[in-house]
Amino acid sequence: MGGKLLYEGKAKKIFETPHPYEVEVYFKDDATAFNGAKKGQITSKGILNNAISSLFFELLESNGVKSHYLKRIDERSMLVKKLKIIQIEVVVRNVAAGSLSQRLGWAEGKILPSPVVEFYYKSDELGDPLINDYHVAALGLATPEELAFLAAQSLKINSILLKHLLDRKVKLVDFKLEYGKSDEEILLGDEISPDTCRFWDSETNLKLDKDRFRRDLGEVEEAYQEIHDRLAGGPKV
């Protein structure tokens, strides 16, 4: 669309649009892990994540979850409402993996008796540390009511995604969400993609997400494509 670049992150760029309350999100092929320590590119990742995120935002919208998403503009871009981002990353987990397995010594793949919600302070400088509701209050990141909403909304999103994915033979292991304010209303923001979720094949536990990049497992693009195809149920993009 050619608007001014407002912000460039590790995986996305944000551009101005003619409308002051809307911005364009452009999905890059760049991939990073371990707080930027590992860098690379995943061919077509931007195209696939834009398509996958759009499908998820549309699914959530149809289930009453409001997000910043307005529409897909083209292969790599979507139009979204401009948000004032809340500096909290909300992680929901159904199965032990990643940092939870490390922290509690739980084997990857252990099914959690009930979903676990975690909060992380969104700070590249500090490496996104795990925080609790007391830290959120002390840091002034959100009110107790807002934090309760973030947790409840994230659990609702978990229920919707869990079922939708299981119907497509994908186990939703865990995922990360970000929220922001638009006119004091809290909306879901950022993206929902194999960059921000752990997806395992429900029968084989084959990893179909960014862990293939983080852990050098190979066939990274193929995994993203597989998730796209199972969600879209149509021909490859």
Contact 164, 157 (CB under 8 A): no
CA distances from 164 to 112, 130, 190, 193 (A): 19, 28, 20, 14
Query: Which CB atom, from 129 or from 218, has the smaller least distance to ligand TMP?
Result: 129
If one asks whether residue 176 binds ligand TMP (CB under 6 A), the answer comes out as yes
3-state SS track over 68-85: CEEEEEECCEEEEECCEE
The first and second tokens of residue 30, run together, are 């760049």
Q: Is 143 in the site for ligand ASP (CB under 6 A)?
A: no
Residues 144-183: x where in contact with ligand ASP by CB under 6 A, - otherwise, as a string: ----------------------------------------
For 140, phi then psi, to 5°, come to 65, 35
Q: What whole-number distance in Å separates Cα of residue 98 and Cα of residue 86?
A: 24
5 near 13, Cβ under 8 Å?
yes
41 binds ligand ASP (CB under 6 A): no
34, 62, 140, 235: which one binds ligand ASP (CB under 6 A): 34
Give the separation between CA 1 and CA 217, rounded to whole angstroms.
Answer: 36
Asked whether 77 and 174 are in contact (CB, 8 A), the reply is no
| Among residues 31, 52, 78, 100, the one that binds ligand TMP under rule CB under 6 A | 100
Minimal distance, residue 146 CB to ligand TMP, in Å: 21
Q: Which of 28, 32, 66, 122 binds ligand ASP (CB under 6 A)?
A: 32
User: In a 3-state reduction of DSSP, which class is residue 151?
Assistant: helix
| Residue of 14, 15, 28, 33 interacting with ligand ASP (CB under 6 A) | 33
Single out the residue of 26, 56, 57, 175 in contact with ligand TMP (rule: CB under 6 A).
175
Per rule CB under 6 A, is residue 9 in the interface with ligand ASP? no
Q: Is 191 in the site for ligand TMP (CB under 6 A)?
A: no
Q: Using CB under 6 A, list all residues that contact ligand TMP.
A: 91, 97-100, 128, 174-176, 196-198
